[in-house]
């Protein structure tokens, strides 16, 4: 995805799920977000901005409680859209919002779906896959736990350090990807000149979205080392293959 890969790579390090908000985005940020939503959407996925009260509700006990947010973006899939495309594009939008200094949080479950749908100009056959609140963060950065790269790849430290620098960067960036209930349902497999991501769980229906999020992160980590490439063998086990001239 040609946008600003390095800007989003930096945003990966700053992003975390913000569940308490101190106010809405400013007018300039809202304009920038509307432009980003237009530019990023495609392949049957639309990113729609909305505003309203009582959008969010906790799932059980207090999990997923979002407070203080009135503005949101919805990641909407048309009939032909693939879940991984929603994840990939939604995460690009979330990283752009992060780069603008705003708080975000992927929310697939803890929101009022039909109420939210009533606030949006949905077309026939479109469904809301997830939304994110957008606003001034009311909390400071928390780095939530992640599986080790050893666990995610099955490789030991020595083997990891022997990988080309771009692959190490791609893996480190993919490791920071958010996923539903922080399950991290992926296996990362360096393979030939590329890296494969294997989806390891349906994750309450969000495994495909999680896969797309990890794909974008992997690409951003590679781009950080000036390596661009293509995804091949799409499905549950896509393979990222760098362009020969990058290596
Ligand atoms: C597809 C998806 C759906 C999610 N749904 C919810 C949700 O319904 N409610 C919520 O509070 N957090 C939700 N999250 C946020 C995750 O719990 C969070 O990303 C994960 O615990 C990692 O934490 P971090 O984002 O702070 O790194 C979701 C994340 C993803 C990727």
- Assess if residue 142 is contained within a domain: no
- Assess if residue 130 is contained within a domain: yes
CA 161 to ligand 1 center in whole angstroms:
30
CATH code: domain of residue 222: 3.40.109.30
Tell me what percent of the residues of the chain surpass a pLDDT of 70.
98
Query: Could you tell me the pLDDT band of residue 60, with boundaries at 50, 70 and 90?
Result: confident
Residue nearest to atom 28 of ligand 1 (CA): 180
Range of the domain at 120: 5-137
Provide the 8-state DSSP code for 246. G
For residues 117 and 236, state if they share a domain: no
For residues 168 and 65, state if they share a domain: no
Query: Could you tell me the pLDDT band of residue 2, with boundaries at 50, 70 and 90?
Result: low
Query: Tell me, what's the pLDDT at 62?
Result: 76
* Binding site membership of 207 for ligand 1 (Cβ less than 6 Å): no
ipTM: 1.00
Query: Tell me, what's the pLDDT at 225?
Result: 96
Element housing 197 (H / E) = strand 194-199
Query: Could you tell me the pLDDT band of residue 63, with boundaries at 50, 70 and 90?
Result: confident
Distances, alpha carbon 106 to alpha carbons 76, 132, 182, in Å = 13, 5, 11
For residues 129 and 17, state if they share a domain: yes
How many angstroms from the chain centroid is the CA of residue 144?
A: 15
β 21-23/136-137 pair status: antiparallel
Helices (H), the chain: 5-14, 27-40, 83-99, 113-118, 149-153, 157-161, 165-175, 207-224
Nearest to 84 by CA among 161, 199, 220: 199
**187-241 pLDDT tens trace:** 999 998 999 999 999 999 999 999 999 999 999 999 999 999 999 988 999 999 9
Residue ending a domain, among 86, 113, 137, is 137
- Assess if residue 193 is contained within a domain: yes
For residues 24 and 113, state if they share a domain: yes
160 CB neighbour count, 10 Å cutoff: 17
- Assess if residue 196 is contained within a domain: yes
- Assess if residue 189 is contained within a domain: yes
How many angstroms from the chain centroid is the CA of residue 69?
A: 19
Query: Tell me, what's the pLDDT at 247?
Result: 65
Dihedral in degrees, nearest 10, Cα atoms 216, 68, 141, 207: -30
DSSP three-state, residue 148: coil
For residues 88 and 24, state if they share a domain: yes
Query: Could you tell me the pLDDT band of residue 74, with boundaries at 50, 70 and 90?
Result: very high
For residues 123 and 174, state if they share a domain: no
- Mean pLDDT of the residues in the chain: 96
CATH code: domain of residue 85: 3.40.109.10
Residue ending a domain, among 75, 103, 137, is 137
CA 97 to ligand 1 center in whole angstroms:
16
* Binding site membership of 88 for ligand 1 (Cβ less than 6 Å): no
Q: Which residues pair with 124 in a beta bridge?
A: none
End-to-end CA distance of the chain: 19
Provide the 8-state DSSP code for 122. P
Query: Could you tell me the pLDDT band of residue 1, with boundaries at 50, 70 and 90?
Result: low
* Binding site membership of 109 for ligand 1 (Cβ less than 6 Å): yes
CB 84 within 8 A of CB 231: no
For residues 120 and 11, state if they share a domain: yes
- Assess if residue 227 is contained within a domain: yes
Residue ending a domain, among 87, 107, 137, is 137
For residues 120 and 15, state if they share a domain: yes
- Assess if residue 237 is contained within a domain: yes
**170-201 pLDDT tens trace:** 999 999 999 999 999 999 999 989 999 999 99
**24-53 pLDDT tens trace:** 999 999 999 999 999 999 999 999 999 999
Locate 211 and state its tokens.
């896969």
- Assess if residue 183 is contained within a domain: yes
What's the total number of domains in the chain?
A: 2
For residues 17 and 122, state if they share a domain: yes
Residue 133 has phi, psi (to 5 degrees) of -65, 155
Considering only 3-12, 80-89, 113-122, which range has the smallest mean pLDDT?
Answer: 3-12
Query: Could you tell me the pLDDT band of residue 136, with boundaries at 50, 70 and 90?
Result: very high
CA 163 to ligand 1 center in whole angstroms:
30
For residues 186 and 66, state if they share a domain: no
For residues 42 and 70, state if they share a domain: yes
pLDDT value at 156 more than 70: yes
For residues 176 and 93, state if they share a domain: no
């Amino acid at each position: 995805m040609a946008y600003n890969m390095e800007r989003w790579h930096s945003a990966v390090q700053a992003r975390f799920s913000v569940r308490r908000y101190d106010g809405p985005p400013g007018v300039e940020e809202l304009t920038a977000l509307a432009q980003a939503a237009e530019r990023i959407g495609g392949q049957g996925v639309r990113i729609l901005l909305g505003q309203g009260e009582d959008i969010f509700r906790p799932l059980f006990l207090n999990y997923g409680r979002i407070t203080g947010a009135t503005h949101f973006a919805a990641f909407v899939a048309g009939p032909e859209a693939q879940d991984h495309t929603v994840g990939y594009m939604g995460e690009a939008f979330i990283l752009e919002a992060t780069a603008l200094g705003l708080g975000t949080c992927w929310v697939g479950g803890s929101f009022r779906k039909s109420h939210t749908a009533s606030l949006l100009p949905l077309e026939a056959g479109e469904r809301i896959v997830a939304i994110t609140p957008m606003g001034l963060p009311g909390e400071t950065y928390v780095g939530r736990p992640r599986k080790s790269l050893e666990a995610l790849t099955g490789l030991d430290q020595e083997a990891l350090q022997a990988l080309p620098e771009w692959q190490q960067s791609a893996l480190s960036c993919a490791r920071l990807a958010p996923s539903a209930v922080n399950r991290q349902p992926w296996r990362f497999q360096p393979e030939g000149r590329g890296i494969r991501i294997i989806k390891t769980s349906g994750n309450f229906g969000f495994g495909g979205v999680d896969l797309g999020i990890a794909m974008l992160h992997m690409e951003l980590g590679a781009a950080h080392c000036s390596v661009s490439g293509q995804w091949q063998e799409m499905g549950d086990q896509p393979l990222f293959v760098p362009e020969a001239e990058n290596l």
